[in-house]
Structure 1
């Protein structure tokens, strides 16, 4: 139990339904949908689309999504891949000839076809109850009337806004300056797009005037995209992957997401007595950092479009984890993993909803870097993701950029099960940190007996190529001990990631945890 003398956040308890996400308006919208008779899928879609208006630096209809879910009164977990593909004419060789070592972040070359709208339409049709018109109505209203900019969004906007260019500036920073907390942000062009999707479905986005508007912006900045690329975009149902950690089963999306990395990381940690260490001490932090380096090195080598990777079984095998665990020196830090071609970023939204029938949805939705590519369409202001920067230009690599391929994705929704029962949909935002965040969340729960809110609140560390990032929640003597072990300790200017979770107790009570590093909350009824 938390110390009520100190600042903090209590868990949220409810029995009928619950949403946990990073903005209160989206959480309230999701609960409104549940109270109107919608199910968890309806509520998650409605909240997610609205988050694109409330947190436009993080996500939007020009982005991608991944979803894990179970059907009402059914414990089987299903996965939907809503990530987009590179245009058919995309070529790593052409970029190499042009002198590029990596895909340019804020160029049309980094723009893959947005996959989220197709996914939302498919999920609504297959698993929703209310219909797209009802689900999109809240976002349409807020896009037209405007939303007050939340504090974390205002904190991100000045840095992320540097990526905006041309029409992106006109739609997202029309005064030329980032908005302050409390100022109103409106997106009337996106409201019109959503209104058309509500009426005509996915074709209103991937064909006709909206698609032509996006294509014009891309082609004007050197993109090789075509109308056929947009019309061909389709999401896919896939089979989740999973791994056990001390009686808890972590369920993840298969590649092209990085979820297998979290499972590998936990498999490595099984070889150490994590529960016997101080939860926020140097020993645990060091072992997790070393395991992260090894797991991410495997990720960088093997995770790619599912049609182009053959190493998933290798990453998930106990033998691989045992070999990697043996490389960890408890007394000395090793060099960081070779960096990915994708730059460090922290821009993602996550929403989870559980309804009265205990259908659980775990949904993550992103435009990749802050404000994505920075390229927006002229008329409608659709901001386009730069997920193509997740490709490598290394010739022969399974994740090499090529037409029709999906890049390696950092965004991953998670779910936990115990004894074949869905117990906790959850997600940890923060770009590349997400696999580490998933593993640390599970370890906080299983090794240290934390409740979801405490596990979310706990200080975070992340070993990335720049060094070992430590939040200020770590004691100075812990930072010094880690430096003595050879880590280059960094205090990042921003908090590391953000998390949301809903624990489904055996008696049916729902317990929500929401990250104070974000603006949101868990709400129930």
Structure 2
């Protein structure tokens, strides 16, 4: 259950003020012509704009912002994790995706891993066993080689400066730093070496909002990468340092695994919704196609006939999510090891799945079983657009919390724990294997309008992401919200069911799952949903419902409109 799910905030005898235009609970989207950035930290947004003003491309600015967020929002991302992005090439107006996810040790089999796990039925959430090769740095340099304009030393310079000189911790990030430290302390028996991480982030406890935080080790790491390039990270002295540290702490990853790493360029796939809008996502090993499956189901009903906050709309979204995630648990995995069944994205399949929804009540179960992917994955999403029309949709994560708890000697970042999402069932497409990429939750997205790329957007937060993408699309298309209103509106998050880590043929312990809703959804709607058979709980923290950023471009005027997530610290800004 998400933290504080049942704890109402302190009552304040004052509500929202009025607005001359738009919803009273939202604020205006941002509009500009020359460039735009939306990130989860205001200083990172400013870094992106500074790079654009220096003549950098949207890719340069996205990398600069991502590097800055790895310093300022270590609870959501860092160079110890993986990266996915969709880039709109302004010359061709075509979208290209990059899969920057890392792989397992080539020298460790499933049998050998199980011997280390003993009686455990899944990989642990922290420590050396769930660590996979960090893919972010290679993805940066791949993107930069195709679309960068400034030298990488200039692109990384703002993050280096902030890491060396310091920055004030933002409020929401301070909340997550405190939560991360408490989680590490609870699991300290699983982490063979935590002194490195403690000395970087928690020497005096968790940094609080307003504290000035510095990370000179990360400053040196980023500065070195800017000067020497990606090979320093995967084949040079850094690779040796990381490999030695991981071997010392019990990982099977070796130098050869770093040296063999590479990103893959992939093509986004789009599915039509209605009124000329299409949702575009990257193929597995991510879960983006789950959002496409939801779209194919939901386009069979006119949601606009109901009020947006009605039980009917929430019911259809929830049941579509459960149906799509049933397939996620069964079929989504590294495509190098298991091909994705393309029929899952057909209109006919969507109609067949929609026919399984009872409009009056929640179904007890949907075969082959709903996955529980939500976990505690913390992520950052950002989007940047430049004066030439290039748009970047980028998402990056260390997965659970800050990652594994393991920080390599002297480098100032933490390794991800993405390998936790492997299954130990040898028959499962997502089964652990040597040199394999795990199932991934992080997904960037685009929306097309009338056949042309229109909006770069994403919504961070584990298994919230596909259902969040679809809710944003519905808010814009079916209910006419602007970009900012579409993100500020209260959301649902369905949690529970079968996991992609479980045995394929085993029973689901929680087939119905729990429907978490925000305070903006009425008690009347909640009661109707309960009467329909849903297990409904309010969550007042905002934490489980994601972190949204978006930029749309008017094809006639070239004007950018940007929006940011009220549940995070960030801003959207342009010039």
Q: Normalising TM by the smaller chain, what interval?
A: over 0.9
Q: State the distance in 2 between where 1:290 and 1:308 align.
A: 30
304, 308, 311: which one aligns with 2:333: 304
**Post-superposition shift, 1:213?**
2.6
Structure 2, gaps ≥5 residues long: 1-16, 185-193, 497-512
Q: Which SS does the other structure have where 1:448 is aligned?
A: coil
> 1:354-412 CA deviation, whole Å, 9 max, x = no partner?
11111111110111111111111122232000111121111211111111111111100
Give the corresponding residue for 1:471.
518
**Post-superposition shift, 1:493?**
5.3
**Post-superposition shift, 1:483?**
1.4
- 5 Å-filtered alignment, 1:202-217, equals 202-217=230-245
Give the corresponding residue for 1:421.
452
Asked whether the 8 Å contact 1:293–1:464 carries over to 2, the reply is no
**Post-superposition shift, 1:90?**
3.3
Kindly tell me: are residues 26 and 476 of structure 1, through their superposed partners in 2, closer, same or farther at Cα, counting changes over 3 Å?
same
Matching of residue 398 in structure 1 with residue 413 in structure 2: no
Matching of residue 503 in structure 1 with residue 518 in structure 2: no
Give the corresponding residue for 2:58.
40
Q: State the distance in 1 between where 2:244 and 2:27 align.
A: 47
Q: State the distance in 1 between where 2:166 and 2:195 align.
A: 22
Moved more, 91-100 or 252-261: 91-100
Q: State the distance in 2 between where 1:11 and 1:342 align.
A: 31
Give the corresponding residue for 1:289.
318
Q: CA RMSD in A?
A: 1.6
Q: State the distance in 2 between where 1:69 and 1:371 align.
A: 26
Q: State the distance in 2 between where 1:308 and 1:262 align.
A: 22
Matching of residue 382 in structure 1 with residue 432 in structure 2: no
Give the corresponding residue for 1:137.
157
Asked whether the 8 Å contact 2:48–2:64 carries over to 1, the reply is yes
- 5 Å-filtered alignment, 1:187-198, equals 187-198=215-226
- 5 Å-filtered alignment, 1:446-525, equals 446-465=477-496, 466-492=513-539, 494-495=541-542, 496-506=545-555, 507-525=557-575
Matching of residue 31 in structure 1 with residue 78 in structure 2: no
302, 308, 318: which one aligns with 2:347: 318
- 5 Å-filtered alignment, 1:226-245, equals 226-245=254-273
Asked whether the 8 Å contact 2:272–2:279 carries over to 1, the reply is yes
Kindly tell me: are residues 227 and 342 of structure 1, through their superposed partners in 2, closer, same or farther at Cα, counting changes over 3 Å?
farther
Give the corresponding residue for 2:84.
66
Q: State the distance in 1 between where 2:370 and 2:358 align.
A: 21
Q: State the distance in 2 between where 1:341 and 1:449 align.
A: 31
Q: Which SS does the other structure have where 2:84 is aligned?
A: strand
Give the corresponding residue for 2:251.
223
Q: State the distance in 2 between where 1:85 and 1:519 align.
A: 32
**Post-superposition shift, 1:474?**
0.9
Kindly tell me: are residues 184 and 486 of structure 1, through their superposed partners in 2, closer, same or farther at Cα, counting changes over 3 Å?
same
Matching of residue 434 in structure 1 with residue 465 in structure 2: yes
Q: Which SS does the other structure have where 1:84 is aligned?
A: coil
Q: State the distance in 2 between where 1:30 and 1:437 align.
A: 25
Q: State the distance in 1 between where 2:464 and 2:365 align.
A: 14
Give the corresponding residue for 2:9.
none
Q: Which SS does the other structure have where 1:396 is aligned?
A: coil
Moved more, 251-260 or 417-426: 417-426
Q: State the distance in 2 between where 1:340 and 1:101 align.
A: 16
Matching of residue 276 in structure 1 with residue 276 in structure 2: no
Q: Which SS does the other structure have where 2:478 is aligned?
A: helix
Q: State the distance in 1 between where 2:377 and 2:475 align.
A: 22
Q: Which SS does the other structure have where 1:109 is aligned?
A: coil
Asked whether the 8 Å contact 1:66–1:83 carries over to 2, the reply is yes
Kindly tell me: are residues 474 and 493 of structure 1, through their superposed partners in 2, closer, same or farther at Cα, counting changes over 3 Å?
closer
Asked whether the 8 Å contact 1:336–1:467 carries over to 2, the reply is no
Give the corresponding residue for 2:501.
none
Structure 1, gaps ≥5 residues long: none
Q: State the distance in 2 between where 1:3 and 1:427 align.
A: 29
Give the corresponding residue for 2:19.
4
Moved more, 225-234 or 272-281: 272-281
> 1:241-264 CA deviation, whole Å, 9 max, x = no partner?
110111112111111111111000
**Post-superposition shift, 1:163?**
4.3
Q: TM-score, normalised by structure 2?
A: 0.88
Q: State the distance in 2 between where 1:125 and 1:455 align.
A: 35
- 5 Å-filtered alignment, 1:155-174, equals 155-164=175-184, 165-174=194-203
Give the corresponding residue for 1:330.
359
**Post-superposition shift, 1:312?**
3.5
Asked whether the 8 Å contact 1:197–1:204 carries over to 2, the reply is yes
Q: TM-score, normalised by structure 1?
A: 0.96
Asked whether the 8 Å contact 2:126–2:405 carries over to 1, the reply is yes
Q: State the distance in 1 between where 2:399 and 2:63 align.
A: 19
